[in-house]
Amino acid sequence: MARNTARTHLADLLTSRRGAWVSLSIGLLVMIALFGAFGGAEAPARNAQAPATSESVKAAELLDKFAGSDQQSVLIVASRSDGGELTAADTEALRALAPILFEADDTNGAEAPNDTADTTSAAEQPARAPEPMLSDDGEAAVLVTPIDVGESNTETAGAIKALRSQLADHTPTGLQLQVTGGPAFGADIAASFEGADFTLLLVTILIVAVLLIVTYRSPVLWLIPLTVVALADGLAGRMTAAAGSLWGLQFDAGIISVLVFGAGTNYALLLISRYREELSRHEDHRLALSQAVRKTAPAILASNITVVLALLTLVLAVIPGTHGLGISSAIGLLIALAAVLLVLPPALAVCGRGVFWPFVPRPGDAKPQGRAWRAIATRVVGRPVRSLVLGLVLIATMAAGLFGTSVGLDQIEKFRVQSESAAGLEVLSAHFAPGEAQPILVVADSDAAEAVVTAAGDVEGVVRAHPAGTSEDGTLVKIMVTSEYLPSSQQSIEQIDELREAVHAVAGSNALVGGAVATDVDARDGNQRDLWVIAPLVLAVSFVVLVLLLRSFVAPVLLLAINCASALAAIGAGAWLSRVVLGQDALDLQVPLLSFLFLVALGIDYTIFLAHRARAEAITRGTGPGMIEAVAHTGGVITSAGIVLAGVFAALGVLPLVTLGQLGLIVGIGVLVDTLLVRVVIVPAVFGLLGDRIWWPGKLSGVGK
């Protein structure tokens, strides 16, 4: 009772004539103050892919002890524009590039033998290599140059851009030069995001604006929730950046923005929908708004808390980007919650009933709520078995797309649009051993160098292995291993395991295998571990919240089972579309976990919106009729919210990485399935089939009163 009284007082305060102005002023002033306080914050660059305790990360830490560790080699791949063989004049022109590229560099991070053409890979040649390395077919050549790498891909991108600009000014006639290799790939990823965040924000705002206009059928009303949510998104961006800087978190800011816009708009839709409903009962718009706040706040709070707690389970993830996403997403969603519950109501109260123009709801002209939704729900609840079977068959059909799905993209596949580094790698792979672009690095004790080189060279698929430098204290040796396999392909991944087994077996070597491909292997293992640890925790959190909200055991179990089936169906359908329609043979490493997390956590939103209303209606009508009434009242708003959220996630497709596009596709499909099939057909069918038993062991009081 005290809790209800407190909620009533707060709702009245936010919507009263004087309280609305005071609350709105305080809310805006607090936002302005926070904008000022955190305006200069910048989150750490997102660089790390593998767990901090993985072998590749430990190897990278040891490599920092070698001279020239702040430099890495990039490859300049040369080929004729007409696809023919390189001529003697072409070779001479490439040889003339060496002074231009290396004139300012007197250091060399890799000590290679003099006969570099025979014993070293392209990426292993000395930085001052006087000769281009020619392919056996004579159709391509490689020059190698060192660059100073920064602490992030963004910093390295500047050096790559300068190198490419320099080459563009000196490209020999008839040739094309492409810069590739590990640093170039990282730089291209960073460069591809230049302006992407603004594009994502603009597309997101346009999608939300259009869908809100269609939903509200008002040229005015949509501006209020959109402005409030946009302010929340801007503040969330600054506060999450500050948190990232303080705690060293890595995360994708685009995902945070999408979550804040999607969830914030969903909360606003639920509140305003109930406000419209209450306006048809009350002459005083402030009383109607107060009632709407009181009746929707529990569902909005429960929804937000569920998603926040589910996201916080990501702090247990070992992949740095996934770990950082948990805390930053939780911060963003809490800001969205505060904005919708504390700033949106007084903004609506100040604007008054006329904000719904031209379709202003008034007492006495109310029409039956959701006649179409009521008709569908009546048919589903009346024939629950048939409806449930049809719904589950459709879910199972979509989930069948999981068969044949693989996880893990190679370097070329990660770009949605072509990049110079990817194009260069394709040329390199066509004329040299594909592993030339990204040699594997082994760090071992100097005393065991010869034995480690021998063991590495005996591994199947290894083209060459040789010492490439010693640490400054002389205790460690760096060994370069060149593979004949394409980096991050299944063969190269299996080769890393075989190579580790071989060098670990060398007594007294303390050998560690690192490099880009080894990092990818460790990232795959880490993502798989995170999936099996995080997914059960997300389900446990959602279950506890549903039990507390619905005061039932049966309903939460069934609702979560349905949610999981829906999530698997969306992942299956998204994976199938990616393969068949988009030509993407695999899902990226983080997509399965993040898709499952968002689909379950956000799907619980709609479960809570529907089940909370169903229980309230069931108290006086009974479970079956109560569910029909709940669908009639929430079907429209849940569908609108789902379409908005699907559209917002689809906006991730404007970003250049396949990872985010796949995530947006799968979550978008899942949200639509959730809103149009699960909440309209499957859940009502289950409630209609079980009746009051759905609330066991709790009981409904007041049925029929």
pLDDT of 182 > 80? The answer is no
**Domain co-membership, 228 together with 113:** no
- Report, as an integer, the average pLDDT of 425-434: 83
Peptide bond into 358 cis (omega under 30): yes
Q: Is residue 703 part of a domain?
A: yes
Is residue 136 located within the same domain as residue 185? yes
Kindly state whether residues 307 and 243 are assigned to the same domain. Answer: yes
3 pLDDT higher than 60? no
More confident residue, 612 or 226: 226
Torsion angle defined by CA atoms of residues 60, 498, 492 and 477, in that order, rounded to the nearest 10 degrees: 30
H runs (alpha helix) in 473-590: 490-504, 516-550, 554-580
pLDDT of residue 4: 60
Q: What is the DSSP string of 330-368?
A: HHHHHHHHHIIIIIHHHHHHHH-GGGGTTS---TT----
Residue 701 pLDDT grade (very low, low, confident, very high; cuts 50, 70, 90): low
- Structure tokens of 380? 């589903």
CATH number of the domain residue 138 falls in: 3.30.70
Strands 406-407 and 175-180: unpaired
pLDDT 10s digits, 464-502: 898 988 888 889 999 999 998 888 788 899 999 999 999
Q: What is the DSSP string of 36-56?
A: HHHTT--PPP----S-TTSHH
Lowest-confidence pick of 150-164, 299-313, 499-513: 150-164
pLDDT of residue 378: 92
3-state secondary structure of 533: helix
CA distance between the termini of the chain: 21
**How far is it, in rounded angstroms, from Cα 128 to Cα 106?**
8
Q: Is the separation of the CB atoms in 176 and 68 below 8 Å?
A: no
Q: Looking at the predicted structure, is the pLDDT value of residue 34 above 90? A: yes
- Dihedral sign for Cα atoms in the order 395, 622, 600, 663: positive
The confidence band for 401, taking pLDDT boundaries of 50, 70 and 90, is very high
User: Do 224 and 310 sit in the same domain of this protein?
Assistant: yes
pLDDT digits (tens, 9 = 90+) for 37-59: 988 777 776 667 889 999 999 99
What whole-number percentage of the chain has pLDDT above 90?
A: 33
| Residue type present at position 538 | V
Residue 68 has pLDDT above 90, yes or no: no
Q: Which of 191, 215, 235 is the last residue of a domain?
A: 191
- In angstroms, the Cα distances linking 478 to 116, 456, 494 are 17, 12, 22
Please give the model's pTM, rounded to 2 decimal places.
0.82
Query: Number of folded domains in the chain?
Result: 3
Residue 621 confidence class, pLDDT cut points 50, 70, 90: confident
Q: How confident is the model at residue 105 (pLDDT cuts 50, 70, 90)?
A: very low
Rounded Cα–Cα distance for residues 534 and 673 (Å): 23
Same structural domain, 260 and 349: yes
| Structural domain contains residue 247 | yes
Long-range contacts of 355-360 (CB under 8 A, 24+ apart): 355/218, 355/220, 355/221, 355/224, 356/216, 356/218, 356/221, 356/276, 356/279, 357/218, 357/219, 357/220, 358/217, 358/218, 359/217, 359/218
Question: In the chain, helix, strand, coil percent, each to 5?
Answer: 70, 10, 25
**CATH code for the domain in which residue 681 is found:** 1.20.1640.10
Q: Which helix (H) or strand (E) holds 613?
A: helix 591-621
Answer whether 247's CB lies under 8 Å from 263's CB. no
The Cα–Cα gap between 225 and 43 comes to 28
Coil, strand, or helix at residue 81?
Answer: coil
Structural domain includes residue 507: no
Which pLDDT belongs to residue 129?
44
Q: What's the residue count for the chain? A: 705
Judge whether residue 704 has pLDDT over 50. no
pLDDT at 516: 85
Please give the share of the chain, as a percent, with pLDDT higher than 70.
90
Question: If pLDDT is split at 50, 70 and 90, which confidence band does 72 have?
Answer: confident
Q: Is the pLDDT of residue 702 over 60?
A: no
Q: Distance between CA atoms of 481 and 501, rounded to whole angstroms?
A: 15
pLDDT exceeds cutoff 80 at 661? yes
Which range has highest mean pLDDT (203-207, 257-261, 643-647)?
257-261
Q: Output phi, psi for 346, to 5 deg.
A: -65, -30
Say which residue, 459 or 122, is predicted with more confidence.
459
The region that residue 195 occupies, defined by phi over 0 for left and psi between -120 and 50 for alpha, beta otherwise, is left
CA distance 280 to 283: 8
98 neighbors 143 (Cβ within 8 angstroms):
yes
Q: Is residue 331 part of a domain?
A: yes
- CA 110 to CA 146: how far, in whole Å? 10
Other Cβ atoms within 10 Å of 575 Cβ, number: 26
Q: Minimum mean pLDDT among 155-169, 185-199, 413-427, 494-508: which range? A: 185-199
Out of 334, 367, 400, pick the residue that ends a domain.
367
**Does 99 lie in the same domain as 84?**
yes
Residue-wise pLDDT tens digits, 8-29? 678 888 888 898 999 999 999 9
pLDDT given at position 586: 86
Same domain, 302 and 164: no
Summarize pLDDT for 532-555 with one digit per residue, the tens: 999 999 999 889 888 888 888 998
Cα angle 533, 535, 541; round to 5? 105
Backbone CA torsion sign across 312, 266, 635, 648: negative
Closest CA to 239 of 122, 338, 94: 338
Residue 650 is predicted with a pLDDT of: 82
Q: Could you tell me if 287 and 145 lie in one domain?
A: no
- Do 200 and 652 contact (CB within 8 A), yes or no? yes
Of the pLDDT bands very low, low, confident and very high (cuts 50, 70, 90), residue 327 is very high
* pLDDT tops 50 at residue 669: yes
Distances (CA, A) of 690 to 305, 459, 677: 28, 61, 19
The answer to whether residue 351 scores a pLDDT higher than 70 is: yes
Give the pLDDT of residue 108.
38
pLDDT at 134: 87
243 and 289 together in one domain: yes
pLDDT digits (tens, 9 = 90+) for 502-518: 999 998 889 999 988 89
Which phi and psi (to 5°) does residue 355 adopt?
-65, -20
258, 404: one domain: no
Note the pLDDT of residue 115. 37
Cβ-contact 638, 610 below 8 angstroms: yes
How confident is the prediction for the chain on average, in pLDDT? 84
Give a yes or no: residue 422 inside a domain. no
For residues 407 and 662, give the distance between their C-alpha atoms in angstroms, rounded to a whole number: 12
Specify the pLDDT at position 114. 35
Asked if residue 238 is part of any domain, the answer here is yes
Question: How would residue 113 be classed by pLDDT, with cut points 50, 70 and 90?
Answer: very low
In a shared domain, residues 361 and 230: yes
Q: Work out the number of other CB atoms within 10 angstroms of the CB of residue 165.
A: 9
Give the pLDDT band (50/70/90) at residue 112. Answer: very low
The CA distance from 14 to 378, in Å, is 37
What is the distance between the alpha carbons of residues 253 and 239, in angstroms, rounded to a whole number?
Answer: 11
Q: Which two tokens stand for residue 48?
A: 């790390």
Structural domain includes residue 622: yes
Distance CA 656, CA 127 (A): 32
Quick one: CA dihedral 109, 113, 114, 115, positive or negative? negative
Place of tokens 């809490």: 334
Residue 140, classified by CB atoms within 10 Å of its CB into exposed (0-12), middle (13-18) or buried (19+), is: buried
Look at residue 448 and tell me if it is in a domain. Answer: no
Domain edge (last residue) among 340, 367, 394: 367
Q: Examine the domain organization and report whether 186 and 89 are in the same domain.
A: yes
pLDDT surpassing 70 at residue 389:
yes
pLDDT at residue 196 is higher than 60: yes
- Owning domain of residue 95: 69-191
Looking at residue 117, its pLDDT comes to 36
